[in-house]
Structure 1
Amino acid sequence: MAQSISSDDESPLNKTIPRKTLIFLISTLNASFQPDYEFSCCTSQDFSRETNLELVKNAVDSRFISVMGDYYRSVSPQLWSVIDEEINIKESEIFSYHPDGTSDPFSESGIIWSFNFFFHNKKLRRILFLTCRADCKMASNDEDNEEDEPLEFNNYLTFEGVMD
């Protein structure tokens, strides 16, 4: 089973994902990455339920801060406010996706780290998918192999998603 960032001592019953929810999560992945990737082979073991919102926020914030530093610190409250406005975080279940590392956008060459969180609000019948990956520019330019070429840094925080 995928490792949750929440408490390690959760009972297996708390980690069980209902079949209907699993279908929604997989459908969200497919809609987000089609036609390049297909996730129908995913199982509940690729996902975990996150029970601690603060740990999820910390995981997201620490990744973004490591890349964008003070710029992210200034937009972090806005990010979490927009997420809350769209999905009502306190009434949502949070899931994370932990890919198998073989056939998905998170296991391509040069990927340094990634995160994938789903905020599922049953009452609103809505899923918000928050995903990000950091890739090494040098790994994607292996054939060029010009050592003197400076690495580019994009200081813009962009968000993609599907909203109903």
Structure 2
Amino acid sequence: MKYLEEPQLSWLNSVLGSYEIGDRVLNGKLETYSCKKAGSDKRLAKSLELYYQQEIEVLATDVLGSSPLGPLASPATRKLLINLISTMNASFPDYDFSAVKPEQFRKVLDFRIALQCINHDLAELLEAEGNGSVEKMWEGIAEAMKLDECDVYSYIPDMDSDPFSDGNLWSFNYFFYNKVQKKVLYFTCICKGLTYDTDTDDETMEEPATMDDDGEDVMEDYFGMSSDWEDGS
């Protein structure tokens, strides 16, 4: 996966590098990659393809069809999984995500869910950055990716073996995947307490707030959808 420089996202990457809010600190980034593989990416792709082929041979057909991204028997599903895993490996070179299970990924059927969750989780940061920060963020993302051509996916962390565990209060991971451009934008953020307290494991995170008018306007501007859009219409 080749990293693609996106100057319009540099301001947010700079802010998200380490941003303190009260007793918490946010660490996040937005990175875009070409899906063209070279070197270690090709080796990883071959290794994962072999693994998935072996899984196809040993698992029942009904199990294969239960993957949130589609059946492993489908070459398109395997290619998608390999691209998502390769993106995470490129973004976090100190970790190996090759053992990530297909069921740890989800397709976001309604773009509003991803937009709303990102805006909610970064609300304090964006407010502190000043008026227009939400619009500036999504303008940069829209400039980097043709959002109306993108499928959106999320990753559910393995709390025992990846960088999104070990005392984190919350995290999000979204992939904006453009098959036409053969390009993916990976947007990830981790929130930790400045002083780790083991009791934080028992804390319950708030549900995302109901989308306000500004959120609906952003959705319509950058995803090319009206606020009454529903999946399948």
Tell me the TM-score normalized by structure 1.
0.71
Match of 1:51 among 109, 125, 138: 109
Match of 1:3 in 2: none
Question: Matched residues, percent identical?
Answer: 32
Match of 1:92 in 2: 150
Q: CA deviation at 1:56?
A: 0.7
Equivalent-residue separation in structure 2 for 1:87 and 1:29 (angstroms) = 18
Q: CA RMSD in A?
A: 2.1
Equivalent-residue separation in structure 1 for 2:130 and 2:113 (angstroms) = 18
Q: Which amino acid aligns with 1:82?
A: G
Q: Deviations over 1:67-109 (max 9, x none)?
A: 5535366311111111111111110110000011111110022
Equivalent-residue separation in structure 1 for 2:157 and 2:69 (angstroms) = 17
Match of 1:118 in 2: 175
Counting matched residue pairs gives 127
- Aligned pairs for 1:142-157 (under 5 A) are none
Q: Name the SS for the 2:195 alignment partner.
A: helix
Q: Which amino acid aligns with 2:184?
A: I
Equivalent-residue separation in structure 2 for 1:64 and 1:16 (angstroms) = 27
Q: Name the SS for the 1:77 alignment partner.
A: helix
Equivalent-residue separation in structure 1 for 2:132 and 2:117 (angstroms) = 17
Q: Name the SS for the 1:54 alignment partner.
A: helix
Q: Name the SS for the 1:51 alignment partner.
A: coil
Q: Name the SS for the 2:122 alignment partner.
A: helix
Match of 1:16 among 65, 69, 74: 69
Q: Name the SS for the 2:161 alignment partner.
A: coil
CA contact (8 A) 2:126 2:134 kept: no
Q: Which amino acid aligns with 2:103?
A: Q
Q: Which amino acid aligns with 1:103?
A: S
Label 1:93 to 1:46 Cα distance change in 2 as closer, same or farther (>3 A).
same
Q: Which amino acid aligns with 2:192?
A: D
CA contact (8 A) 1:14 1:49 kept: no
Match of 2:191 in 1: 134
Label 1:27 to 1:119 Cα distance change in 2 as closer, same or farther (>3 A).
same
Q: Name the SS for the 2:87 alignment partner.
A: helix
Unmatched runs of 5 consecutive residues or more in structure 2: 1-64, 71-76, 198-233
